[in-house]
Each structure stands twice: as C-alpha cells, then as structure tokens.
C-alpha cells in the first residue's frame, strides 16, 4: 500500500539534545513538507522540498534543519536551538506541480522535551 | 499574503443532524484551490473535499458539500446526517493554483466538531 510513514510515534528528548524525526513516502511524490501543530492551533510550515537535494524554509524554520538526499525521504532534525520544541509534527507529500497539489499526510510524531 | 479564518473554534451537532462549518479567506489571486481537511482523535489528517476556484459548481463528496462564494471569499463545509465518526478537528486550507511551480498551503486555525449521540 502506498503512503507516508513517520517514526517514531512518540519521542522524548532532554533539553540540549538534537533529535531527528523520520518521514518516508512511497507515493513517488516530488514535494515533501514538515508542519508543526500546537494545541488549539493550525498547521505551521517548517520546511518544504520540491525536489531532491533542494529545500526551502517555511514560516518557522528557526531551530530546525532538513535534508533531501532521496526522493522518498525527508528527515527533520530538531536542534537544541529550538526554544520550544514540544509539539506534534506532521510530514506530508504531494505531486508538487500541476493542477492538483493535494497533500497526503503521515500519522505524525509527538515530541516531548523533558 | 493569504490568510484563512475559521471563526468557530468549537461546534457540536446531534447525530443524524446537519452542521455547517464556516471559513473565510483573504487573497488577491483569481486562481486557487480550497480544501477541507479532517483530523480525528487519531490525529491522521485526511482530505475531505476540494474546490477549484474557477469552477462555479460547489463540490460534493457523499455527505460532505461546500458552499463556495468566491466574491465573498467564503468556503463553508456542510456535513449532512452527522455520524459519530465525524467527530474531529476540521481545517480549511487555501493554495494558489499554478501550472508549473509549487506553492504552499495555508491552513486555518481549525474548528473542533463534536457529534453527540
């Protein structure tokens, strides 16, 4: 079955540590995205990538980093520079061009900083 | 810059009744897409319905339909015959329509819908 997987589902981190969230898709989509969701709020875009080896900052990129070495994978690193990293993180993908750019979402990762 | 507003943070509806969720947006674009996404308690985001701005006909998907008023920049979602499984957070979203390049999706803050047995 085609889809998007994120791992782990729950992640705990100590203050000052970097942590990497995994996102993999087998939909053959060109574009991939990372969103942050805080309680009672909508989705805010962290980073997006339209093609392998290229990515752009979204609205709240500070304290985060990404890579896009393979079409299928778009990992997100939450660095120690992110002041308030506790949140729910969603990864999404889409065809990235053309008349229909529906985004498909993964199940999400809940990150908690202890 | 585009913005999406959902003025109802929380709503409830009796099972089998009809409910309408409101969404307004602000844009100077003429070609764009509008979406309604559903996020149930499992937190998996699911596309409910999509509307293309250049189409006058309102989109429908089974029990879900929209009332798209382009001049008023309004895009409401109507859920008919509400079911317990409709309990979820609903997000309205906007995206500019381009043939060859990407543009990001702008999400509203969401409306929490509870279906009451």
Whether the per-residue pLDDT at B96 is higher than 90: the answer is no
Whether the per-residue pLDDT at B103 is higher than 80: the answer is no
Tens digits of per-residue pLDDT, A31-78?
999 999 998 778 999 999 988 999 999 999 999 999 999 999 999 999
Q: Taking CA A35 as the corner, what is the angle to CA A29 and CA A39, rounded to the nearest 5 degrees?
A: 145
Residues B4, B7, B12, B18, CA torsion sign = negative
For residue B8, the 8-state DSSP code is -
Q: Is B94 on the interface with A (CB under 8 A)?
A: no
3-state secondary structure at position B84: helix
Question: Measured between alpha carbons, how far is B104 from B102 in angstroms, rounded to an integer?
Answer: 7
Tens digits of per-residue pLDDT, B8-52?
999 999 999 999 999 999 999 888 999 999 999 999 999 999 998
Q: Is B41 on the interface with A (CB under 8 A)?
A: no
- Output the pLDDT for position A81: 87
Task: Flag if A105 and B44 touch (Cβ within 8 Å).
Answer: yes
> In A, residues 52-81, which contact B (CB 8 Å cutoff)?
58
For residue B59, the 8-state DSSP code is P
Tens digits of per-residue pLDDT, B54-91?
888 899 999 999 999 999 999 999 999 999 999 999 99
Of A97, A100, A103, the CB nearest to B100: A97
Burial class (CB in 10 A: 0-12, 13-18, 19+), A55: buried
Q: Is A1 on the interface with B (CB under 8 A)?
A: no
3-state secondary structure at position A69: coil
A19-28, A97-106, B37-46, B50-59: segment of lowest average pLDDT: A97-106
Average pLDDT, chain A: 91
Burial class (CB in 10 A: 0-12, 13-18, 19+), B82: buried
Q: Is B91 on the interface with A (CB under 8 A)?
A: yes
Task: Flag if B99 and A98 touch (Cβ within 8 Å).
Answer: yes
Task: Flag if B101 and A97 touch (Cβ within 8 Å).
Answer: yes
Of B43, B46, B104, the CB nearest to A88: B43
The answer, yes or no, to whether the previous bond of A8 is cis (omega within 30 of 0) is yes
Question: Measured between alpha carbons, how far is B21 from B92 in angstroms, rounded to an integer?
Answer: 9
Chain B's closest residue to A107, CA to CA, is: B44
């Amino acid at each position: 079955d085609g889809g998007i997987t994120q791992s782990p589902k729950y992640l705990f981190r100590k203050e000052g540590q970097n942590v990497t969230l995994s996102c993999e898709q087998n939909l053959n989509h060109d574009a991939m995205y990372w969103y942050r969701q805080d309680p009672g709020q909508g989705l805010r875009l962290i980073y997006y990538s339209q093609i392998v080896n290229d990515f752009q900052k979204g609205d709240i990129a500070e304290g985060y980093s990404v890579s896009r070495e393979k079409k299928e994978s778009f990992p997100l690193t939450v660095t120690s520079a992110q002041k308030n990293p506790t949140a729910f993180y969603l990864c999404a993908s889409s065809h990235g061009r053309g008349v229909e750019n529906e985004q498909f979402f993964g199940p999400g990762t809940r990150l908690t900083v202890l | 810059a585009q913005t999406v507003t959902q003025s109802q943070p929380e709503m409830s509806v009796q099972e089998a009744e009809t409910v309408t969720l409101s969404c307004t947006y602000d844009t100077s674009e003429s070609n764009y897409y509008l979406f309604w996404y559903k996020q149930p308690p499992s937190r998996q985001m699911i596309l409910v319905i999509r509307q293309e701005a250049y189409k006058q006909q309102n989109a429908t998907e089974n029990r879900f339909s929209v009332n798209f008023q382009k001049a008023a920049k309004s895009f409401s979602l109507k859920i008919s015959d509400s079911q317990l499984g409709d309990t979820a957070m609903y997000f309205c979203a906007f995206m500019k329509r381009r043939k060859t390049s990407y543009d990001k999706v702008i999400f509203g803050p969401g409306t929490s819908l509870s279906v009451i047995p």
